[in-house]
Structure 1
Amino acid sequence: MNSTQIESNVQQLIRAHQPDTFIYDLLLAYGQPKASIKRLQIGSLNLAKQAGEIAWKKKLYYREIPAGDDLNAQLDELRADAAVTKHDPRFIVVTDHRSLAACDRKTQETICCTLTELPRHFDFFLPWAGMEKTQLQNENPADVKAAEKMARLYDEIRKDNPTDTPEAVHGLNVFLSRLLFCFFAEDTGIFEKAQFTNAIGSHTQTDGSDLHAYLDRLFEILNTPARAADLPAYLTAFPYVNGGLFRNRHHAPVFTRRSRQAVIDSGELDWSAINPDIFGSMIQAVITPEHRGGLGMHYTSVPNIMKVIEPLFLNELHEEFEAAQGAPKKLNALLTRMQRIKLFDPACGSGNFLIIAYKELRRLEMKIFRALNTLALSNISLSNFYGIELDDFAHEVAILSLWLAEHQMNQEFFREFGRSKPSLPLTSAGHIVHGNACRLDWESVCPKLEGDEVYILGNPPYLGYSMQNKVQKEDIDLVFKGLDNYKNLDYIACWFLKGANFIQNYNAQFAYVSTNSICQGEQVACLWRHVFIRNLEIGFAHTSFKWANNAKSNAGVIVAIIGVRNLSNKKKFIFRNSTKKITSKISPYLIEAGDFIIQKRSTPLSQFQPILRGSGPIDDGNLILDSFEKDELLAKYPSAKKFIKRLLGAHEFINGFERWCLWIEDNDLNEAKSIPEFQTRIKKVELFRLSSNKKNTRNDAINSHRFSENRFNNTHGLFVPRVSSERRVYIPFGFVENTVIVDSAQAIYDPDPYLFSILTSRMHMTWVRAVAGRLKTDYRYSNTLCYNTFPFPPISETQKQELEGHVYNILGEREAHSEKTLAQLYDPEKMPAGLREAHRQNDLAVERCYRSRPFESDEERLEYLFKLYEQMIAREQEKGTLFEGAGKRKRSGTLIRK
């Protein structure tokens, strides 16, 4: 049983909720054996002594309570009850049949929700089905408070200090980095407790007039190992810091009473509770949104960082540690291996990924020391951590954050072993370079030495083609120089290609948080062939998911996480919906399939009729009418009716709007021009086309009475929207009359009716979701990538008639709700039950065209379609067709690794 089926089971269970059998139905939904559930119901398997309670050893402890009782209190009581825990249940569940509270005793996770919300949390109980949930880290709410304090301080300082030159901006960035260090130092044992904040409060004027001079002097002292004898004690009490943080002279900004108080308020926070890895969030809180978006500075939360580093290298190290228990030689070999590991983030921002990776390596090292029962100092060095960052402030903070992370881990080491390296004076904090990662030689930043093990990781800037500025487009040209078909790639593709070049034939891997668009549509062919031709493969992937951070300007983004390595026989992993699947191959579409790529085709692979793009006016709006303009025109000139046709694009078709256009045949031009309004509009079209910088458009000015791109076919057609919302289960295809002009869409003219059944099926939608491009997050339905590539076997006349019957059923259900638009009918939350059932029956009929056994999930459907596609392409290449009787098709050019 897979997670999709389980989710469906839970939804059905809640819709038909039966209190008497609820817990048994819930267990069945997760695939527990019916025989065991029967024994649980009759009592032979139930170990609980109290009525209304169920105890199933290793599985469950369940209690029903009256409505109004405190669910969480009851849950806490059961968690602490020895009579419950002696049965070692994985889950404890409490319900009043309106809400439910539960605890996973292995992970210590809890949920509390209404029963109607339970399907949204179906993954909580997946261990009942043998699927362990991916474990994630928790966020620290104190970090957000610190970010907000720093934002207020930054705003106050900016009021009185102009930053209109790059030098002034850099100076302020350095100052803020130093300030952050001092706040952290006085709360974590580097300085005396509250030493910095108290010194400001005691030795500067309340109006802030002398604070800048005081800080300039203090920062100079922090960089001076040998102090003058006549210095005041309150200055000499500060230790020598070193490490370059206070080396260069940058004057502190001037302060007012308000900004001085903001410094003191910030210092009064408990900075020992702040994680250095949250400094990226702080940057987002103080830098303008335009600045942040333009430079690609992303704060990535700890849970998402762990999704990258665990499968990239950390899980393997932990497995090696577990396998080496009781074997000192193997444990020491693991320590040696870890000392040679290099971590490189070529878009490091404020250092989030490097810091978390550093901490995890230090903690594993401590585990090894405990296992060896030996006392040694850490050999995980910051000198093995490398980064590139475009933004000056983030670059400064990344260096600072690594220092602070080292200090935190030294403190943790001291608590465990009673000694550690001294935190001061600071040493070099990794190799963090300020520059453009697209233009730097990565090996000059992170040298590839024999015996090293390098992991490249991070969250590079995404930026689709339309969002890229001139410099970023030049970056792509530089990175992909000498290659073809790359212009429409997302900006992050630069990091994939440079990463591929770096790791090829070397002991290295890379993994990035990325937009999912590079694994969809035409970008797959544009990017991944350049990766695979270097004998690389995808080692693991987190499929598309939405995530959001607790940073300011929080926004959910659709991302995937993709790990790439040299060809290997090691296991590969696909993470989907909190589950992990072991596989032998991962395709660039992030499914279990080979590394072939779906290429654009000019003709259908299957036995389908051709699809045509709509007509394009190129008229500056002069051949287009809205309903008001049409009615006004007809009121003046009734004879104009013969020249007006309905114009239909995806927006009008799906949302029920009306547009109209002038449609004038060549032999009717003189008659049309007798209408003054038409003559004016035609002249405007002529002038507009003559002003174009495209030669073909200028040449077509002579035909200004008609659409420049005329693909109208005077017959009925099957309307195919080019864009449709990702929320819809089905794209709303439909039939149109022969009097309708299709523009911003596509059409199949004089179609076989059963084709509608195929296109609106779940099988086809599964294909669309995998191979279609995206317009933001909506599907962009392409004839060359979606329609022409879709694999469908030849079917009998009987099967065609069956599919046609489902076509009429679906159209009939639509007609039964004719007062609603297609957008309303296909809203997944409002879809009428009859229409939903008609589609479900159609889905089953289409699937029977592929095989008699039903598919259990979309993953299974897609894997089947990819295998069929690969077979059809191979046979097409060999004989022209896979199936007897099919017409010969043009080869698709699908790429297979050589």
Structure 2
Amino acid sequence: MAKKSKSFSQVQVTDVLEQLGQRGTSAPEFIYDLLRIFAGYGDGQIRRTKVGPGNLAKDGETVLIKNLVAYREAVVNTLDGDCSKMYDVINAMRDDAKIAKHSPRLYIVSNGVFVVAYDPKENDWYENRIDLLWKDFEFFTPLAGIEKIQFTAEAEADVKSAELMAKLFDDIRRYNDIRDPQIVHSLNVFMSRLLFCFFAEDTGLFPEDNLFTNTLRTHTKEDGSDLAKFIDHAFLAMSTNDSAVLSTLPKLYEVFPYVNGGLFRDRYPIPVLSRRARTLILNCGEYNWREINPDIFGSMIQAVVTPEHRAGLGMHYTSVPNIEKVIRPLFLDALEEEFETACAEAREKMAKKANHDRASQRLRNLLNRLSNIKFFDPACGSGNFLIITYKRLRELEIRIWKAMREITGMALLPFPNITLTQFYGIELDEYAAETATLSMWLAEHQMNVKFQEELFVL
């Protein structure tokens, strides 16, 4: 999501870029086309950049504007779609101290047909045909002074991770035919599995921290040419504990544990993945997914697969308090009130020297009640209502166990009373239903960790 200036019109930029694609451009002129379209450069500024002080580079091959852009023409033939050498040109600019000291916001290379760019602030790469820029140009909006909104600390990690997943989906969509329903289904499963791996490697579900991300970084090429094969083998290793199947894989995949529950059960073709996809996957893995809320996953997936919803991603995040506005008067406030009453009664009985079991009986009854309530959402979507309800009940459960310990002074051995089998939902959209299931699993693990930390601290 970007903060838009009053003079910036996405519709107008789309139209101008489409016209540029139709008429064509050249490698020397392409940077000036971008400066006109995004930075609002007029003829005078273009002239000063071409032949005057507007260009800080003195090497005769670079267009360098302080805090804005570093550009070079690609002198390699990339008409066949192989842009690998263009990445080398960008890396050469990044390694040039004379260029880097002017802090270019974007590094760009083009041969007049293709464009490759790098965003040092977001550590993100971009590759496309110039005649297709009109479909996907948000990468270049920093040239117009449009930057990402800085979210509050509570929401930043959630939203930023969702944006990275959306970028990854866009990059995959560029190389795969998403009109084919079977390919769409495979892609849905692929994105869910990646999401699980990111979460699992930061929450103790995998035997090592950052297991998936570090193994991918170490054992795949930077150009992404072997990325699909690596991920396919990793998913296969996680799909089974059959030694006969595992013996067909290279030993490096032995680090991945068997993941039951069906998420990895079926083998689907991995989508075509690019150099940028590898960078985005590694960037996703850099987040601490232990702090990512499973209740954002629904909004995350919606933003990933439905680009028109991305501008409102921050608003989707606020759906959590909106959900609470529904569930609190419906049942949660009554349970909270019963908890307060039970605590007061227990303290009163303890003051009268009642035995511990009798004093805490009402709190125990409340725990039993929580374990018997059933929750049903007839149009659950990606499961946000069910996830928030589950988490709030588990938090109340923790408070009840703490209260019984505090009030009675007994060294009670707590155990979880609330299970996922109490939660039901109906959803027609396959991917939304899969997301809801995955999110509930992850929410359960997250709350089990919290239960352990808060009630079993030595």
Deviation at 1:248, TM superposition (A): 1.6
Residue in 2 aligned with 1:369?
Answer: 401
Consecutive unaligned residues of structure 2, counting only runs of 5 or more, are 1-151, 311-315, 347-358, 406-411
Query: Does the aligned pair in 1 maintain the 2:339–2:363 contact within 8 Å?
Result: yes
The change in CA–CA distance for 1:291 and 1:273 in structure 2 (over 3 A counts) is closer
Superposed counterparts of 1:473-484, under 5 Å: none
Residue in 2 aligned with 1:311?
Answer: 329
Distance (whole Å) between structure 1 residues aligned to residue 154 and residue 223 of structure 2: 37
Distance (whole Å) between structure 2 residues aligned to residue 261 and residue 141 of structure 1: 20
Query: Does the aligned pair in 2 maintain the 1:204–1:214 contact within 8 Å?
Result: yes
- Aligned match for 1:236, one of 251, 254, 257: 254
Superposed counterparts of 1:479-878, under 5 Å: none
Distance (whole Å) between structure 2 residues aligned to residue 369 and residue 416 of structure 1: 10
Query: Does the aligned pair in 2 maintain the 1:147–1:285 contact within 8 Å?
Result: yes
Query: Does the aligned pair in 2 maintain the 1:359–1:409 contact within 8 Å?
Result: yes
Larger Rg: 1 or 2?
1
Q: Residue 180 in 1 paired to residue 212 in 2?
A: no
Residue in 1 aligned with 2:229?
Answer: 213
Residue in 2 aligned with 1:155?
Answer: 170
- Aligned match for 2:364, one of 332, 339, 361: 332
Structure 1 segments, 4+ long, off by >3 Å, are: 226-234, 289-292
Residue in 1 aligned with 2:303?
Answer: 285
- Deviation per residue, 1:571-609 (Å, 9 max, x gap): xxxxxxxxxxxxxxxxxxxxxxxxxxxxxxxxxxxxxxx
Distance (whole Å) between structure 2 residues aligned to residue 414 and residue 268 of structure 1: 25
Residue in 1 aligned with 2:156?
Answer: 141
Query: Does the aligned pair in 2 maintain the 1:161–1:254 contact within 8 Å?
Result: yes
Q: Residue 349 in 1 paired to residue 381 in 2?
A: yes
- Aligned match for 1:320, one of 322, 328, 338: 338
Query: Does the aligned pair in 2 maintain the 1:150–1:266 contact within 8 Å?
Result: yes
Residue in 2 aligned with 1:845?
Answer: none
- Deviation per residue, 1:479-535 (Å, 9 max, x gap): xxxxxxxxxxxxxxxxxxxxxxxxxxxxxxxxxxxxxxxxxxxxxxxxxxxxxxxxx
Q: SS of the residue aligned with 1:282?
A: helix
**TM-score normalised by length of structure 1:** 0.30
Distance (whole Å) between structure 1 residues aligned to residue 400 and residue 309 of structure 2: 44
- Deviation per residue, 1:530-565 (Å, 9 max, x gap): xxxxxxxxxxxxxxxxxxxxxxxxxxxxxxxxxxxx
- Deviation per residue, 1:628-676 (Å, 9 max, x gap): xxxxxxxxxxxxxxxxxxxxxxxxxxxxxxxxxxxxxxxxxxxxxxxxx
Q: Residue 408 in 1 paired to residue 446 in 2?
A: yes
Residue in 2 aligned with 1:118?
Answer: none
- Aligned match for 1:395, one of 430, 433, 455: 433
Higher alpha-carbon deviation: 152-161 or 342-351: 342-351
- Aligned match for 1:196, one of 190, 212, 218: 212
Distance (whole Å) between structure 2 residues aligned to residue 324 and residue 391 of structure 1: 42
Letter in 1 for 2:211: Q
Deviation at 1:141, TM superposition (A): 2.1
Distance (whole Å) between structure 1 residues aligned to residue 299 and residue 398 of structure 2: 29
- Report the number of matched residues: 280
Distance (whole Å) between structure 2 residues aligned to residue 254 and residue 138 of structure 1: 35
Give me the CA root mean square deviation: 2.5
Q: Residue 223 in 1 paired to residue 223 in 2?
A: no
Residue in 2 aligned with 1:506?
Answer: none
Deviation at 1:170, TM superposition (A): 1.1
Q: Residue 246 in 1 paired to residue 278 in 2?
A: no
Distance (whole Å) between structure 2 residues aligned to residue 289 and residue 349 of structure 1: 17
Higher strand fraction: Structure 1 or Structure 2?
Answer: 1
Residue in 1 aligned with 2:281?
Answer: 263
Deviation at 1:372, TM superposition (A): 2.4
Q: SS of the residue aligned with 2:201?
A: helix
Superposed counterparts of 1:424-439, under 5 Å: none
Deviation at 1:291, TM superposition (A): 8.8
Q: Which has the higher contact order (CA 8 A, sep 6+)?
A: 2
Distance (whole Å) between structure 2 residues aligned to residue 186 and residue 347 of structure 1: 31
Deviation at 1:389, TM superposition (A): 2.0
The change in CA–CA distance for 1:362 and 1:166 in structure 2 (over 3 A counts) is same
Deviation at 1:281, TM superposition (A): 2.1
Residue in 2 aligned with 1:699?
Answer: none
The change in CA–CA distance for 1:368 and 1:233 in structure 2 (over 3 A counts) is farther
- Deviation per residue, 1:723-753 (Å, 9 max, x gap): xxxxxxxxxxxxxxxxxxxxxxxxxxxxxxx
Higher helix fraction: Structure 1 or Structure 2?
Answer: 2
Letter in 2 for 1:269: Y
- Aligned match for 1:383, one of 400, 409, 421: 421
Deviation at 1:210, TM superposition (A): 1.9
Query: Does the aligned pair in 2 maintain the 1:347–1:389 contact within 8 Å?
Result: yes
Distance (whole Å) between structure 1 residues aligned to residue 431 and residue 367 of structure 2: 35
Distance (whole Å) between structure 2 residues aligned to residue 284 and residue 304 of structure 1: 17
Query: Does the aligned pair in 1 maintain the 2:155–2:317 contact within 8 Å?
Result: no
The change in CA–CA distance for 1:338 and 1:223 in structure 2 (over 3 A counts) is same
Q: SS of the residue aligned with 1:140?
A: helix
Query: Does the aligned pair in 2 maintain the 1:173–1:392 contact within 8 Å?
Result: no
Distance (whole Å) between structure 2 residues aligned to residue 138 and residue 388 of structure 1: 34
Distance (whole Å) between structure 1 residues aligned to residue 231 and residue 277 of structure 2: 14
Letter in 2 for 1:223: S
Q: SS of the residue aligned with 2:374?
A: strand
Identity of paired residues, percent? 59
Query: Does the aligned pair in 2 maintain the 1:300–1:352 contact within 8 Å?
Result: no
Deviation at 1:300, TM superposition (A): 5.8
The change in CA–CA distance for 1:375 and 1:338 in structure 2 (over 3 A counts) is same
Distance (whole Å) between structure 2 residues aligned to residue 225 and residue 414 of structure 1: 28
Deviation at 1:277, TM superposition (A): 0.4
Deviation at 1:306, TM superposition (A): 1.1
Query: Does the aligned pair in 1 maintain the 2:402–2:455 contact within 8 Å?
Result: no
Residue in 2 aligned with 1:844?
Answer: none
Distance (whole Å) between structure 1 residues aligned to residue 266 and residue 171 of structure 2: 24
**TM-score normalised by length of structure 2:** 0.57
Distance (whole Å) between structure 2 residues aligned to residue 152 and residue 202 of structure 1: 23
Distance (whole Å) between structure 1 residues aligned to residue 205 and residue 307 of structure 2: 34
Distance (whole Å) between structure 2 residues aligned to residue 218 and residue 138 of structure 1: 33
Letter in 2 for 1:222: M
Q: SS of the residue aligned with 1:324?
A: helix
Distance (whole Å) between structure 1 residues aligned to residue 392 and residue 241 of structure 2: 33
Letter in 1 for 2:297: F
Distance (whole Å) between structure 2 residues aligned to residue 397 and residue 264 of structure 1: 22
The change in CA–CA distance for 1:165 and 1:246 in structure 2 (over 3 A counts) is same
Distance (whole Å) between structure 2 residues aligned to residue 213 and residue 368 of structure 1: 49
Letter in 2 for 1:168: I
Letter in 2 for 1:184: F
Letter in 2 for 1:377: F
Letter in 2 for 1:170: H
Deviation at 1:138, TM superposition (A): 9.6
Deviation at 1:303, TM superposition (A): 1.0
